[in-house]
A and B are shown apart, each in its own frame.
Chain A
Amino acid sequence: MIKKWHWLLYPLGVGVVVLTSINILFGSSGLWEKISGSRERLAKQEAQTAKLRAKLTVLQGANRQVESDNLTYLLSVLPARKNLPTLLAEVEQASSVSGAIFEGFKGRVSEVAASESATASAGIASDALQLEVTLVVVDLSQLRAALASLENSLPLVKINKIEFAAGKAILLVEGLWHTLAKLPAGPDYPVVDSSASLAQLRAALSSFTELPKLEIPQTGDVNFNPFEQAQPVIIPSPTPELIPTPVPSPTPATSPEEAPPASP
């Protein structure tokens, strides 16, 4: 009688084997789980490898000298630190080109709390290199010429405010600058070939005038750049009134006040 049911041993044995080993395949640490994990990791690694390969292609194709020169050029357009002498030279050049007289300037390193809201509302960063420049101009066309020269000079300059009246123009001139960013490294940060965008930028800035670089020595006891100081400093004096700082203009003034006296 028992012999008659021996054939059942085969399906029962298979059933037992399948049921006991199914955990190896589909359990929490089974093969299926391992495969899913491996596939995810692999996809990530493949994506990272593709990024690294693309990055390496760009890096290997770049010329160190050319790229350094490009970065130097970009830093001359938008410097990495405040450079007061260059900004003053730009203002001087603008006044000389237009025939206006650069009468004086004043500025301060960092705005006090009370005026921070004012600068913020005006979209001006509190650490901006900003000067209040006074120009003596004959008319609007002369002021326009001075503005055109300033706005077309490098490093980039932004004029935040103008008050023109009675032959005088007070300009709030901001020398644009931005610190070099601390850029994190890693395969997730791509390096793209920016030669096309750089060429476009160079074309856009081709009509701009670049001044010779005025580097400020940072050694010694005297800080030639008061804007680098931590304490707020008013240039040239802490008095609130504008103290004229005579800056001789190479071009003679054309205003009636400056015109030479008529001979009898």
Chain B
Amino acid sequence: MINLLPTAVAADSGLVKIKKWVQIGTTLVLVGYLLVLAALAGGNWYLANREQTISGEMTQLTGQVSQLAEMEAILRQQQDRIKLVNQSLAARVKLADVADKLTGANVVGWESLPTGKQVVTAQSSDSASLEIYADSLKNNFGTVTVNKLARDKSGQWQIEVALVGGRK
């Protein structure tokens, strides 16, 4: 006769342990799941409420801004115009300042092109002073090119200088 009692007891005690852990695990999963569910449901409820509040506030603010539409138009036109004026001022080359830089000789001709190139013609009784004048222009212009230095019938010397670029 074989005594089976210890084996049965051992099997039962193993099953009880498994049962206990499965139940603990299941409970933990269930609680966790319920917590996630509650958190998501709560979050959804909160966001829906917040959205409604913000939407209401936005409607109210839009209404208030609409009442001040004329003021908005004035201010935005101002902004736009300030930008345009600044752009215009920045894009403008003041030719009076360029003329200032051309002094130093008897300037008888000056052509200022939209490209920014200046062609200046100066006259003198001697060529040396004109060469000095052309040399002095190098202080104010990036590129100075003497196009022509010639003497006319009346004995006057004329120099034609092309100037490009601003002050070095």
By a beta-carbon cutoff of 8 Å, the part of chain A in contact with chain B is 7-8, 10-11, 14, 18, 21, 25, 31-32, 34-35, 38-39, 41-42, 45-46, 48-49, 52-53, 55-56, 58-60, 62, 64, 67-68, 70-71, 74-75, 77-78, 122-124, 139-141, 143-145, 147-148, 150-152, 156, 158-166, 172, 176, 178, 180-181, 183, 185, 187, 189, 191-192, 194, 197-198, 201, 204
Cα–Cα, bound, A167→B114 (Å): 21
B29 contacts A52, CB within 8 Å? no
Cα–Cα, bound, A41→B55 (Å): 10
Number of interface residues of B (CB under 8 A): 66
Across-interface contacts of B110 in A (CB, < 8 A): 140, 143, 162-165
A151 contacts B95, CB within 8 Å? yes
| Residues of B25-53 contacting chain A, CB below 8 A | 25-26, 29-30, 33, 36-37, 40-41, 43-44, 47-48, 50-51
Is chain B's interface secondary structure helix, strand, loop, or mixed overall? helix
Across-interface contacts of B73 in A (CB, < 8 A): 183
Q: Is B22 an interface residue (CB 8 A)?
A: yes
Q: Is B17 an interface residue (CB 8 A)?
A: no
Q: Is B54 an interface residue (CB 8 A)?
A: yes
Question: Given the interface contacts A35-B47, A42-B54, A164-B110, does A52 sit within 8 Å of B61 by beta carbon?
Answer: yes
Q: Choose among B25, B29, B75 the residue that contacts A194 (Cβ–Cβ < 8 A).
A: B75
A55 contacts B86, CB within 8 Å? no
Q: Is B79 an interface residue (CB 8 A)?
A: yes
Question: Given the interface contacts A164-B110, A192-B79, does A38 sit within 8 Å of B115 by beta carbon?
Answer: no
Cα–Cα, bound, A186→B69 (Å): 10
Cα–Cα, bound, A164→B95 (Å): 12
B84 contacts A198, CB within 8 Å? no
Is chain A's interface secondary structure helix, strand, loop, or mixed overall? helix
Q: Is B167 an interface residue (CB 8 A)?
A: no
Cα–Cα, bound, A197→B87 (Å): 13
Question: Given the interface contacts A38-B47, A41-B51, A144-B99, does A163 sit within 8 Å of B111 by beta carbon?
Answer: yes
Q: Choose among A52, A59, A123, A156 the residue that contacts B89 (Cβ–Cβ < 8 A).
A: A156
Chain B, residue nearest A122 (CB): B114
Q: Is B14 an interface residue (CB 8 A)?
A: no
